[in-house]
Structure 1
Amino acid sequence: MLWTIDKVVRLMFWGGVSALLATVLSVLGIMSCVLAFTTLWLFTASMYMYTANMKEPVVGKAVVVTGCDSGFGNTLALHLDKLGFKVFAACLHAEGEGAQHLRQEGSINLHVLQMDVTKQDQVDKAAEEVKRLLPKGCGVWGLVNNAGVCTLGPVEWVSLESFRRDPEVNIFGLIAVTKTFLPLVRRAKGRVVNVASVAGRMSARFMGPYCISKYAVEGFSDALRQEMYPFGVDVCILEPGNFANGTFLFATDEKVEQEVETLWAALDDQRKEDYGQLYCKKVEGFKKNFRRKGAKDISPVINAFTEALTQTHPQDRYCPMEPRMYAVAFISNHFPAWVYDGVVRLLAVLLLKKDEV
């Protein structure tokens, strides 16, 4: 079993529960606090590790993955294929380079589907193709809603049309795919894995369009999880950190400069005067650093996907991200806003100084 930050946090949680119960037992005079804490934590930790290590057989089980043209989706489709899953890899461009790579590297159990998640007719056609290729009466064990886009820029600079782009793919496309394939997932008593982001737990400047879509994924997934519980269907959320440097989905420095110039050119003279060129440089620096600072190794995300699809008792959330980002997200969720804003400003200053060295 792989050690992850999720598992460490859960062991710490059971340690806290054990400490609370040990204190109660000690006050009641039933057992010494140290003995009770040690016994309880060993027991709860062992039970957690045992259940976390329970796996489902995967050979022959069907999984549908969206957004397989590149990035997480492309790597995940091939990984699941090697594990023995029957993989349906949905691509925005079924004849594109990424889809051809899947056909070349995958086995006969990997099927490429044409699917733009924003077009219901393509989603329906893909579902019919999945039904045709599945054995009669079988369902879909896993639905992985991975397709997504990311728009960055100041709220006042980004057009309303661009603001609609991220939710259209990241949440409404996700909902459309989920509603279409959910009967097949219920039939298999499988699971739905929705890709949110650490940006679905905390927001940051210049990330408004992306954050609103990922916050929505969190809310939708929580509601769906509660609705699907009676049917034996698990709903998991993946909250990756910044892996922009490992997915090659984000713009090069030259493209960033062009994007910022386009945003700046669209502003009226009053807004240009209010913001100034220095602010424009800050926006450009943020967008460049978003890719540069991203992790290159996406294996933590692939491992999280794998656990969500193979654990007998999957977690409601998987958080493949660096510890620093996990800590900042914790502060965002549990501390007053002024504390979180101060931490973010401090980190921005430290990163700026680091870049200047």
Structure 2
Amino acid sequence: MPQTLNKPPEDSQAWELLERCLLPFVFSHAVAVIVATILNTFGISQISSFVLFLLFLSVSLGSTLFYHNLKVTAAGKAILITGCDSRVGNALAKQLDDLGFTVFATFSNKNENNEIACKLKDQCSGRLRVLQLDVTSERDIHSTFLYVNEHLPDGAPGLWGLVHADAWVALGECEWIPSSVLKRSVEVNFIGVSRLTQVFLPLVRRSKGRVILVGSLFARIPSPVRGIHCAVKAAVEAWGNCLRLEMRRWGVDVVIVETGEYVSGSAWLKDNASLLEQARDMWTQLDPQTRREYGQELFQKEMIALERYTLGPEADLTQTTRALTDATVRTFPLRRYMPVSRGERIRALLSDHLPKPIYDILYTD
């Protein structure tokens, strides 16, 4: 039984509230200075800019907090979640079902995960539907679209939420990853996400719903051995930001939830029993010159070190599930949620703003 990862208390909700209130704070200060200057110049009033600032701030913050806590009604709304064979997708399906949504929980391979699918169905209400959906299969995508379109709740104009929780993680140095594994990672994590969204956007537009992307903090943090994962997640986030701008005219929200360490989907390197065997397969596919330059000892040492990514303690998904739920139920969701630890948040901040040579010294082994 894997142990649960013990992390410091999360403060992601405080950061989200701070982000929401930052603009009203700046706006109140600017308006207060302008209004006070005009009143004093024309001798209308001698009120100070500080008093006006407090007045405007109380009104703007009160309005912001009111709108921040508004939630949609779950009854009559449908959500499609991909990757429910992962811990993130599975936990979210249960949470949204408990809130009263009609959930279409999809599995990338329903036959292989039949036990998990049956358990999920038993733990949830009769509203939840379990479907087969391989996001790399055009046939699965269209058959799922037809099923969802025919089984929307009565009176629902379309699909309220499309949550991309499916992921396939490829680990290893960039030069070592076989082309077949690289192709699979791109197909699942990027092409599948974009194609599934294209097919379901008409349903989402009809309900003025939202598209929710489960990203990764490593889209912004360079990390050796996870280069392919960093690259595909960065591609998804860039694509999601563009989609958000395009969908504004339709009233459709596009939300990115950046998860942290250990919160991933299925990994190519799955367990310790097959780890060394997969490492040898990868090694034999390298050309002889590359094998000589790296050396057998270095290769095996780095591959064994990957166990901390595949066999590490299980992450506490409470904050991730909470962020995904907020992105679904808030009337005015944030554009980005970061349910990560304080250390991960600081690392992302330093990666964004520190000179790269200094960041590399601090965080690269």
TM-score, scaled relative to structure 2: 0.84
Comparing 79-88 and 293-302, the one that deviates more? 293-302
1:6 is displaced (CA, Å) by 3.5
1:199 is displaced (CA, Å) by 1.6
Match status 1:99 vs 2:117: yes
Match status 1:110 vs 2:119: no
1:308 is displaced (CA, Å) by 0.4
Q: When you count helix as a share of all residues, which structure comes out higher?
A: 1
1:313 is displaced (CA, Å) by 0.5
The one of the two structures with greater contact order (alpha-carbon pairs below 8 A, sep at least 6) is 2
Comparing 9-18 and 311-320, the one that deviates more? 9-18
Match status 1:84 vs 2:103: no
Q: Which runs of 5+ in 1 are unaligned?
A: 349-357
Secondary structure of 1:196's counterpart equals strand
Q: Distance in 2 between matches of 1:302 and 1:118?
A: 25
Do the aligned partners of residues 27 and 279 (structure 1) sit closer, same or farther apart at CA in structure 2, a change above 3 Å counting?
farther
In structure 1, the residue matched to 2:217 is 198
After TM superposition, list the pairs within 5 Å mapping 1:1-357 onto structure 2. Answer: 4-10=13-19, 13-14=22-23, 17=26, 21=30, 43-95=59-111, 96-134=114-152, 135=154, 138-244=157-263, 251-277=270-296, 279-291=298-310, 296-345=315-364, 348=365
Q: Distance in 2 between matches of 1:146 and 1:31?
A: 53
Q: Distance in 2 between matches of 1:5 and 1:12?
A: 11
Do the aligned partners of residues 330 and 16 (structure 1) sit closer, same or farther apart at CA in structure 2, a change above 3 Å counting?
farther
Q: Which runs of 5+ in 2 are unaligned?
A: 1-10, 41-45
Q: Distance in 1 between matches of 2:308 and 2:22?
A: 34
1:283 is displaced (CA, Å) by 2.1
Conservation of the 8 A alpha-carbon contact between 1:142 and 1:193: yes
Q: Distance in 2 between matches of 1:294 and 1:239?
A: 19
* TM-align CA RMSD: 2.9
Comparing 154-163 and 305-314, the one that deviates more? 154-163
Deviations 1:41-86 (A, max 9, x none): 5555444332221111112210011111231111111111111000
Conservation of the 8 A alpha-carbon contact between 2:350 and 2:359: yes
1:327 is displaced (CA, Å) by 1.2
Q: Distance in 1 between matches of 2:277 and 2:317?
A: 28
Q: Distance in 2 between matches of 1:219 and 1:203?
A: 16
Secondary structure of 2:295's counterpart equals helix
Do the aligned partners of residues 24 and 260 (structure 1) sit closer, same or farther apart at CA in structure 2, a change above 3 Å counting?
farther
Conservation of the 8 A alpha-carbon contact between 1:247 and 1:298: no
1:296 is displaced (CA, Å) by 2.3
In structure 1, the residue matched to 2:7 is none
One-letter amino acid of the counterpart of residue 214, structure 2: V
Do the aligned partners of residues 281 and 93 (structure 1) sit closer, same or farther apart at CA in structure 2, a change above 3 Å counting?
closer
Conservation of the 8 A alpha-carbon contact between 1:197 and 1:240: yes
Secondary structure of 2:259's counterpart equals coil
Comparing 32-41 and 139-148, the one that deviates more? 32-41
1:103 is displaced (CA, Å) by 1.9
Conservation of the 8 A alpha-carbon contact between 2:257 and 2:337: yes
Q: Distance in 1 between matches of 2:344 and 2:62?
A: 28
